[in-house]
Structure 1
Amino acid sequence: MARFSPNTIFYGIILVVSIFNVIVPQSNATLNAHYYGETCSQAEKIISLTVYNASIYDPKVPARILRMFFHDCFIRGCDASVLVDSTAENQAEKDGPPNISLGSFYVIDQAKAKLELACPRTVSCADILAVAARDVVALSGGPYWNVLKGRKDGRVSKASETINLPAPTFNISQLIGSFAKRGLGIKDLVALSGGHTLGFSHCSSFEARLRNFSALHDVDPSMNIELAQNLRKKCPKPNKDPKAGDFLDSTSSAFDNNYYKRLIAGKGLFGSDQALFGDYRTKWLVESFATDQSLFFREFAASMVKLGNVGVIENGEVRLKCRVVN
């Protein structure tokens, strides 16, 4: 993982230009980059140091936190509902099938505990997650942006609603439709998919592309044949190793534009990834981001700000513990 000092996160040069006037229809709340300026001026520093320390000891943290933010915002909006634990009466989002592989919730818990000591009942779990997502990107060598804050935490979290997350088997029309429901456009789809430059996937998310793909093709014809052969070895049938899988990117600990270069080479791991290069509506963006990493960084940061506005609520709460509704 590319290592930035903590001060790089706090005071890094902002790579985003003119992104703070973005308005997402689903959000009725007004967010502000300086929301905690008077009530908890050290909030971002506390979160950033917590994320920095966790990432040093566990290289899986960046990809997990970034994925956690996506999965939170795509269900009920960015309301920290993904952080809530299940109870005897309710199975929460984190226990829905697409979210069982989420991890590193302890990082958000640690940041929240420190913030409750410094600024009791002030900083929402939703804002902690949004800041942490920015920080893991910057720590991994990606862009830095000002996170708009002022979200409140939701009181509802249902595992059944995780069916609404975009699946790794989605085709391009399904992807565009899923993002459009959140007020996100085609450029946001392609830019945010670049988050797959970090992380690892288990075989279950892509093995359907490796065998019996269709009546005409055993292997998905859009997949590089050498990659397919290697993945078939890593994901045999039957597969006795539930942890088997592969990295989403050959530079999986560095936030860069290699993900897009791999799509052009037919080396996207998910069918939904490779679909971005197979359709005229998105292919040109894949090519643009593969050619110009700074362009990708700017668009990713802008889309993350836009994603962070999805479903923001004003009538929520500030949880005392992120795992439990007050």
Structure 2
Amino acid sequence: MTQDAKILHLLLLIGYSLLISFISPSDSSLEYDYYRESCPQAQQVIRSTLRRIYDRNSTVAPAILRLVFHDCFVQGCDASVLLDRTVFMGSEKDTLPNQSLRGFDHIDIIKSELENVCPGVVSCADLLVVAARESVVLAGGPFYPVHTGRKDSDHSFPEISYELPSPLDDLPTTIARFASRGFTVKETVTLLGAHSTGMIHCKFFERRLYKFGGTDQPDPSLDPEFAELLRSVCNSTQTQSQSESSSASPSASPSPSTTSTKSDEERSMKMDYEGRGSGFGILYYRGLLQGRGILFVDQQLTAGEETASWVRQYASDVSMFHKDFAQVMMKLSSTQVLTGLSGEVRTNCREVSSSLW
């Protein structure tokens, strides 16, 4: 090992120690390197398999990052979002807030690789949080240690899925939703920085582009030139009924335009529309200061004094954002986890292992 490599290794160890010290007490039942004896290859299998998928399809990174948020925010990080509907229970996948989730097939591939190496050992909940960490890194974000030892839920919670934040929420609603899960105002601003990557379908922001709030104008918080760019991407004219139903307090159930000449895949805007080289977090926060937040919920972060202050700080200091984002992802990943005799380890992430179901 060269001297430079030794120094880098030392710095990484110091960084791990500092980050681990910030983990909240709620995950004290989890362990760092939980699978060191039962499946020492676990994290490497997840990392290498995800990398192979990413090399063919880079959209897997934001898809899995969104999956972990929608899982952890509902009933804790228990992989309940991965469960399919059965005759005995509904599925979170089928609820309106989750209908645009993707990446389930990629999770299946990773799980299959884990089962080949260590059958019945690694939970789907641990798989998901580790894959999310690797997705953040692939998207240009920070590495952070993940404690493991989670068990999988044997239930799905579709009714609670409606408590997920909406892309159409105003600032007070957003802050209240995150506060209900134990996140501060600062952590809310930090977590929304995950919108630095991925694709956003036009249906989630179209109503900002036309007769917003019952007026004949677009959302006044939206930069006019950027609004034109979004219109050209969506290539859609709002129907009269949709225009009249728009309001200053958007509903949590966005309605796609029925007049588009483009496919749903084409009718999307890249969150990192200036390219991944622009840096994870930089474009997002600087864009908000310029009125270029794609989603209403994002642009609303500039509507409050405290949230706008954090937006300005992150826009000027990407290192601060990366440090804070790593910490809040560690907190999110340890929310209401099942450990020990609670829960189970699924062999198929889409199905509970209990014969009851």
- Give the TM-score normalised by structure 2: 0.83
The answer on 1:305 being equivalent to 2:326 is no
Question: Where do 1:130-169 residues align within 5 Å?
Answer: 130-169=129-168
Q: Deviations over 1:24-64 (max 9, x none)?
A: 58x47611122111211111000000110000001111110
Question: Where do 1:181-196 residues align within 5 Å?
Answer: 181-196=180-195
Question: Match of 1:246?
Answer: 269
Question: Match of 1:223?
Answer: 222
State the percentage of identical aligned residues: 39
Task: Tell me how far apart the structure 2 counterparts of residues 252 and 95 of structure 1 sit (CA, whole Å).
Answer: 32
Secondary structure of residue in 2 paired with 1:246: strand
Deviation at 1:97, TM superposition (A): 1.4
In structure 2, the CA distance between the partners of 1:252 and 1:133, relative to structure 1 (3 Å rule), is farther
In structure 2, the CA distance between the partners of 1:29 and 1:317, relative to structure 1 (3 Å rule), is farther
Q: Deviations over 1:139-165 (max 9, x none)?
A: 222111111111111111133332111
Task: Tell me how far apart the structure 1 counterparts of residues 76 and 22 of structure 2 sit (CA, whole Å).
Answer: 16
Question: Match of 1:58?
Answer: 57
Q: 1:320 aligns with which of 334, 339, 347?
A: 347
In structure 2, the CA distance between the partners of 1:176 and 1:293, relative to structure 1 (3 Å rule), is same
The answer on 1:77 being equivalent to 2:99 is no
In structure 2, the CA distance between the partners of 1:28 and 1:261, relative to structure 1 (3 Å rule), is closer
Q: Which deviates more, 177-186 or 45-54?
A: 177-186
Secondary structure of residue in 2 paired with 1:18: helix
Q: Check conservation: 1:93, 1:99, Cα contact below 8 A.
A: yes
Task: Tell me how far apart the structure 2 counterparts of residues 193 and 217 of structure 1 sit (CA, whole Å).
Answer: 30
Secondary structure of residue in 2 paired with 1:220: coil
Task: Tell me how far apart the structure 2 counterparts of residues 57 and 318 of structure 1 sit (CA, whole Å).
Answer: 29
Task: Tell me how far apart the structure 2 counterparts of residues 185 and 249 of structure 1 sit (CA, whole Å).
Answer: 26
Task: Tell me how far apart the structure 1 counterparts of residues 139 and 180 of structure 2 sit (CA, whole Å).
Answer: 30
Question: Where do 1:167-182 residues align within 5 Å?
Answer: 167-182=166-181
Task: Tell me how far apart the structure 2 counterparts of residues 292 and 42 of structure 1 sit (CA, whole Å).
Answer: 36
Q: Which amino acid aligns with 1:219?
A: P
Q: Which amino acid aligns with 2:38?
A: T
Task: Tell me how far apart the structure 1 counterparts of residues 315 and 169 of structure 2 sit (CA, whole Å).
Answer: 22
Q: 2:302 aligns with which of 250, 268, 277?
A: 277
Task: Tell me how far apart the structure 2 counterparts of residues 251 and 153 of structure 1 sit (CA, whole Å).
Answer: 38
| Structure 2: gaps spanning 5 or more residues | 1-8, 238-258
Q: Check conservation: 1:125, 1:153, Cα contact below 8 A.
A: yes
Aligned alpha-carbon RMSD (Å): 2.1
Aligned residues: 316
Q: Deviations over 1:3-25 (max 9, x none)?
A: xxxxxxx9994756634344658
Q: Deviations over 1:39-90 (max 9, x none)?
A: 1111100000011000000111111011111111111111001111122443
In structure 2, the CA distance between the partners of 1:318 and 1:289, relative to structure 1 (3 Å rule), is same
In structure 2, the CA distance between the partners of 1:16 and 1:203, relative to structure 1 (3 Å rule), is farther
Q: Which deviates more, 30-39 or 262-271?
A: 30-39
Task: Tell me how far apart the structure 2 counterparts of residues 127 and 11 of structure 1 sit (CA, whole Å).
Answer: 27
Deviation at 1:258, TM superposition (A): 1.2
In structure 2, the CA distance between the partners of 1:11 and 1:51, relative to structure 1 (3 Å rule), is farther
Task: Tell me how far apart the structure 1 counterparts of residues 216 and 144 of structure 2 sit (CA, whole Å).
Answer: 44
In structure 2, the CA distance between the partners of 1:12 and 1:101, relative to structure 1 (3 Å rule), is farther
Select the structure of larger CA radius of gyration: 2
Question: Where do 1:33-44 residues align within 5 Å?
Answer: 33-44=32-43
Q: Deviations over 1:248-302 (max 9, x none)?
A: 2324545342110101110001111001112112111111111011111101000
| Structure 1: gaps spanning 5 or more residues | 1-9
Task: Tell me how far apart the structure 1 counterparts of residues 157 and 42 of structure 2 sit (CA, whole Å).
Answer: 29
Question: Match of 2:66?
Answer: 67
Question: Match of 1:18?
Answer: 18
Q: Which deviates more, 76-85 or 206-215?
A: 206-215
Deviation at 1:115, TM superposition (A): 1.5
Deviation at 1:234, TM superposition (A): 2.8
Task: Tell me how far apart the structure 1 counterparts of residues 146 and 180 of structure 2 sit (CA, whole Å).
Answer: 22
Q: Which amino acid aligns with 2:350?
A: R
Task: Tell me how far apart the structure 2 counterparts of residues 269 and 317 of structure 1 sit (CA, whole Å).
Answer: 39
Task: Tell me how far apart the structure 1 counterparts of residues 143 and 176 of structure 2 sit (CA, whole Å).
Answer: 28
Deviation at 1:114, TM superposition (A): 1.7
Q: Deviations over 1:200-247 (max 9, x none)?
A: 111111112112212446211000111112222333122243331211
Task: Tell me how far apart the structure 1 counterparts of residues 60 and 38 of structure 2 sit (CA, whole Å).
Answer: 28
- Give the TM-score normalised by structure 1: 0.91
- More contact order relative to length (CA 8 Å, sep ≥ 6): 1
Question: Match of 1:3?
Answer: none
